[in-house]
Amino acid sequence: MTGALLAAETCCLRNVPALADITSMQEILRALGVGLRGEGDRLEINAKDLSRAQAPYELVSQLRASFFAIGPLLARLGEAKMPLPGGCAIGARPVELHVRGLQAMGADVQIEHGIVHAYTRGGRLQGAKIYLDYPSVGATETLMMAATLADGETIIENAAQEPEVTDLANFCRAMGSNIHGAGTNTITIVGVDRLHGTDYQIIPDRIEAGTFLVAGAITRSEIRLTAVIPDHLTAAIAKLKAIGVDVVSDTPDSLRVVPGDVHIGTDIETYPYPGFPTDMQALFMSLLTICEGNSLISETVFENRLTHVPELNRMGADIRIKGNHAVIRGVPLLSGAPVVATDLRAAAALVVAGLAAEGKTTIHSLHHLDRGYENIEAKLRQLGAKLQRVDGDGKEISLPLAASVAV
């Protein structure tokens, strides 16, 4: 969505999910003077009249991804004022990599009173060679977008290789940009004078697909997923097979999870792509709680992404934390309990744990879940799950504001 700011023509995005984060980003783009029109999973973005370089603090503070706009704003307007971003409290996730990269491209950047003010003296950014100390997805995407309209060639080394980076590069290419190497650790961008509108289909969400694979495994249910890209789930599939769960690709765009007779524990360490994704860590922890034997999960990407452990223990799991490691001793069965979702993926992990638990589980703070899953309870009900969304007083309210889901 922020990439569409690079073109002064209408861009149409397809396969856009109805998420709370999408709604928040729409509000931010409108505040920048962008025209939006949506219908179903189709979203038209017209940045022809992009006029404002500053996004409102009250909107950006709710959504970390909004900071991505700093690159396109600099490229189009020569100036950007972005509040330091918010989002799930799973780690520091600083923006130094973004800032240093933009400075290498000739931008002057000042951070005062929580606002990042970046501007170009000559009107356009300049191509540069940029090495990222860490293969950050956000920094890679921000700098890649900024470089599409810069003068000269930009080379990003130690770039993130996630499928979402490649998808954004393909979108930018569809608008007329000159990008090579996306999906590898070195991306080369040759700036062009302008970009044009396009009609683009977004890739399927690999983490949502992985969530349903785990849901099938933890409930010992055979589930077939369609409209997925199996190659994006290689690491997760490998760990499922290590546990004793088979995953079969019947067609190039489908996966079928086939639980085994015995599920055994395994060790997992999160890494940037193509390593095991940090966004799947909490979900696999739920599965490993009821696998035979011991397991070890090491979280190396975010320093505060084990907050779901006390909630799983409340459901009868046996998990001990040592630094960034979680030692899991498998138990025969989880028990339903009232629990609190602490972030987006923790919410999904508690949902799948509740599906396999004996008795009733009530999960609070579902606003996290709605940031990354479109109507997940309806999809699970289609598979036979028994769950209902309610608020704390049992009153009927709209889904985005619901406070808990009984599983």
Dist CA 364 CA 392 (whole Å): 8
- Per-residue pLDDT of the chain in tens (407 residues, 90 and over written 9): 999 999 999 999 999 999 989 998 999 999 999 999 999 999 999 999 998 888 888 777 777 778 889 999 999 999 999 887 654 443 445 688 999 999 999 999 998 888 889 999 877 999 999 999 999 999 999 999 999 999 999 999 999 999 999 999 999 999 999 999 999 999 999 999 999 999 999 999 999 999 999 999 999 999 999 999 999 999 999 999 999 999 999 999 999 999 999 999 999 999 999 999 999 999 999 999 999 999 999 999 877 779 999 999 999 999 999 999 999 999 999 999 999 999 999 999 999 999 999 999 999 988 889 889 999 999 999 999 999 888 654 433 333 334 466 66
Dist CA 266 CA 133 (whole Å): 30
Check residue 373 and give its pLDDT.
94
CATH of 206-406, one of 1.10.10.10, 3.65.10.10, 3.90.78.10, 3.30.160.20: 3.65.10.10
**Given the structure tokens 């949506």, which residue do they identify?**
38
Check residue 398 and give its pLDDT.
34
CATH superfamily label, 3-201: Enolpyruvate transferase domain (3.65.10.10)
Check residue 379 and give its pLDDT.
94
β-pairing verdict for 223-226 and 254-258: antiparallel
Q: Which amino acid is at 186?
A: T
Check residue 227 and give its pLDDT.
95
The angle at the Cα of 10, spanning 7 to 15, to the nearest 5 degrees, equals 105
Distance separating the N- and C-terminal Cα atoms of the chain: 34
Dist CA 143 CA 128 (whole Å): 10
Dist CA 363 CA 392 (whole Å): 10
Dist CA 176 CA 170 (whole Å): 10
Dist CA 184 CA 165 (whole Å): 10
Check residue 89 and give its pLDDT.
46
- Domain 3-201 identical in fold to domain 206-406: yes
Dist CA 201 CA 51 (whole Å): 27
Query: Does residue 274 have a cis bond before it (omega within 30 degrees)?
Result: yes
* Catalytic residue check, 12: no
Q: How much is the pTM?
A: 0.93
Strands (E), 261-337: 267-269, 294-298, 318-322, 325-329
CA neighbor of 406 nearest in space, from 373, 383, 380: 380
Check residue 48 and give its pLDDT.
95
Q: Which member of 11, 12, 88, 172 is catalytic? A: 88
CB 270 within 8 A of CB 300: yes
CB 142 within 8 A of CB 70: yes
Enumerate the domain spans of the chain: 3-201, 206-406
Local structure of 109: helix, strand or coil: strand
Check residue 195 and give its pLDDT.
98
Cβ-based neighbours of 59, under 8 Å, separated by 6 or more: 24, 27, 28, 31, 66
